[in-house]
């Protein structure tokens, strides 16, 4: 039975229907530019390109790369509890599809998520018939939730994270927020601010609770051992990494690099922008700042002051190569990035002072002396040089981060059990009951 919704929800439906052709045109062009074949582009209209597996199916919906990868460990735990369980992961970006293709476990498949439009959603749901829909972080698409509920698909929201701006907007439409949140049987947030915010807009306190943070349980990123050996041979001297930088941060990182080279004249920098499509402008900036540059995407050898790693899916390689890492998104307005990935690789982590999106996580890392803050480029450059000239200190910092990332595995088991018993439609196999 179709949930009734609110006035604002029905207004949203009308706008979504009117704008659907324009949205599809924009989405399909973006996927095409990323090399996605036309038949796979049509997955966004609800046209499946794979058959539905037999038996129970858990559907995980995430936005992009980080969110998609964060559910792999949880999905695998659920499969361990439910032998024969298949997993469908949907996301919206080409990069997530490309990276997931290399990381999916047995019994897992990926499809592009259907647009939040009634026809696409019904085609999708009619084909896949999921036994549960598990949404990740902030992926709350109104019609997707309502159409799934109309087909009696039990829903959960895990690792929920809402910005202050999003929560303020929800408070303006609190009746619609309560309606949509009420469609979830289980809600688990990754931080206290989101928990408090969801409760403030009317989420059922019996259904919404804190934790765990799925990104703390993601498996270490894969490393191509042969490629790592090649890079280590090409970069035998000191090297550091600036990971997931945003526009405006690269110039600050390059200033830090210049300062660090006063202590270590042969120091190299591997720079990995959050959005590789910005690489051309970044390369120009590097030259303007007086450094030589080599680009990974062009197949150039890393024999330059700065190696611009403008590719996708190789972050594990860079974390393994450079043991001192600056985590971007923290010197500008992006709000920081997840520190668990470099922590799992045992990196000594440096960050800027702006990490509001992960405030609880960073507080835990700081309390454990598992990362350090550099407030400005001069500070960053000095700390990079200090850690690279004191390898025992860098190893201790990296080990503290690795130890922190390895804790609390039981919390993931508890969440997998909760979803398997309280959200999944299909009963557990007889041998697993009780």
- What pLDDT, on a 0 to 100 scale, did the predictor assign at position 412? 87
Q: Which two tokens stand for residue 169?
A: 């907007």
**Whether 391 and 245 share a structural domain:** yes
Counted domains in the chain: 2
165, with CB counted inside 10 A (0-12, 13-18, 19+), is exposed
Distance, in Å, from the CA atom of 43 to the CA atom of 27, rounded to the nearest integer, reads 11
Residue 304's domain comprises 225-405
Q: Does 204 lie in the same domain as 232? A: no
Residue 1 lies in a domain: no
Task: Indicate whether 210 and 250 sit together in one domain.
Answer: no
Pick from 43, 59, 53: which is nearest to 111 by CA? 43
Q: Which of 39, 43, 67, 433 is catalytic?
A: 67
In a domain, 359, yes or no: yes
Residue 64, both tokens:
């992009």
| One domain, residues 273 and 361 | yes
Amino acid 135: pLDDT:
96
Give the CATH number, domain containing residue 324.
3.40.50.2000
Burial 299-320 (b: 16+ CB within 10 A, else e): eeebebbbbbbbebbbbbbbbb
Q: 334 and 370 in contact (C-beta within 8 Å)? A: no
In a domain, 136, yes or no: yes
Residues 191, 46 share a domain: yes
Does 2 map to a domain?
no
Token pair in block for residue 192: 């206290």
Q: What gap in Å lies between CA 236 and CA 67, rounded to an integer?
A: 34
Residues 400 and 414 in one domain: no
| pLDDT for res 222 | 86
Position 2 scores a pLDDT of 66
For 36-68, write each residue's pLDDT tens digit. Answer: 999 999 999 999 999 999 999 999 999 888 788
| Token representation of residue 292 | 């030589």
Q: 334 is written with which tokens?
A: 């992006």
Q: Which of 105, 70, 109 shows the shortest CA–CA distance to 88?
A: 109
pLDDT-above-90 percentage for the chain? 76
* Residue 27 forms part of a structural domain: no
Q: Is residue 309 part of a domain?
A: yes
Q: What is the pLDDT of residue 427?
A: 59
300 lies in the same domain as 274: yes
DSSP label at residue 221: P
Measure the CA–CA gap between 252 and 157, rounded to whole angstroms: 37
Q: Note if 43 is an active site residue.
A: no
Residues 144, 261 within the same domain: no
Which parts of the chain have pLDDT scores under 50?
Answer: 430-434
Residue 207: both structure tokens together? 């259904």
So what's the pLDDT on residue 431? 41
Tokens of 208: 């919404």
- Look up residue 328 and give its two tokens: 């971007």
Note the pLDDT tens digit of each residue in 69-124: 888 989 999 999 999 999 999 999 998 898 888 889 999 999 999 999 999 999 99
Examine the domain organization and report whether 41 and 56 are in the same domain: yes
Q: In whole angstroms, what is the distance from residue 130 CA to residue 420 CA? A: 13
Model pLDDT, residue 428: 54
187 inside domain:
yes
Q: Which residues contact 218 (CB under 8 A, 6 or more apart)?
A: 69, 70, 72, 73, 340, 341, 344
């Amino acid at each position: 039975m179709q949930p009734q919704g609110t006035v604002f929800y029905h207004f949203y439906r009308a706008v979504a229907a009117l704008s659907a052709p324009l949205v599809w045109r924009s989405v399909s062009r973006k996927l095409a530019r990323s090399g996605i074949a036309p038949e796979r582009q049509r997955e966004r209209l609800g046209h499946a390109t794979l058959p539905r597996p037999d038996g129970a199916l858990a559907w995980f919906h995430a936005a992009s790369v980080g969110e998609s990868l964060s559910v792999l460990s949880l999905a695998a735990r659920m499969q361990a509890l439910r032998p024969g369980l298949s997993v469908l992961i949907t996301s919206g970006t080409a990069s997530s599809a490309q990276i997931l293709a290399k990381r999916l476990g047995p019994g897992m498949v990926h499809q592009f998520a259907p647009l939040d439009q009634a026809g696409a959603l019904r085609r999708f749901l009619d084909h896949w018939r999921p036994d549960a829909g598990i949404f990740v972080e902030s992926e709350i698409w109104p019609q997707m939730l309502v159409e799934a509920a109309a087909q009696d698909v039990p829903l959960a929201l895990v690792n929920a994270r809402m910005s202050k701006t999003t929560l303020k907007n929800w408070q303006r439409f609190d009746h619609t927020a309560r309606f949509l949140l009420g469609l979830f049987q289980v809600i688990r947030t990754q931080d206290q601010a989101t928990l408090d915010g969801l409760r403030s807009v009317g989420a059922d306190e019996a259904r919404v609770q804190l934790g765990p943070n799925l990104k703390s349980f993601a498996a270490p990123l894969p490393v191509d051992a042969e490629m790592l050996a090649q890079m280590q041979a090409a970069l035998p001297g000191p090297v550091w990494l600036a990971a997931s930088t945003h526009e405006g941060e690269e110039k600050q990182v390059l200033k830090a690099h210049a300062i660090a080279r006063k202590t270590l004249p042969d120091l190299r920098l591997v720079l990995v922008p959050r959005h590789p499509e910005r690489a051309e402008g970044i390369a120009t900036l590097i030259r303007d700042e007086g450094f030589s540059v080599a680009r990974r995407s062009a197949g150039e050898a890393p024999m330059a002051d700065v190696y611009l790693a403008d590719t996708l899916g190789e972050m594990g390689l860079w974390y393994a190569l450079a043991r001192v890492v600056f985590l971007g998104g923290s010197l500008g307005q992006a709000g920081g990035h997840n520190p668990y990935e470099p922590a799992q690789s045992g990196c000594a982590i440096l960050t800027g002072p702006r990490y509001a999106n992960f405030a609880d996580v960073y507080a835990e890392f700081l309390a454990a002396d598992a990362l350090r803050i550099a407030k400005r480029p001069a500070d960053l450059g000095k700390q990079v040089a200090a850690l690279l000239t004191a390898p025992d200190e860098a190893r201790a910092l990296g080990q503290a981060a690795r130890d922190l990332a390895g804790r609390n595995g039981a919390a993931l088991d508890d969440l997998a059990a909760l979803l398997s018993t309280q959200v999944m439609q299909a009963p557990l196999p007889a041998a697993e009951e009780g």
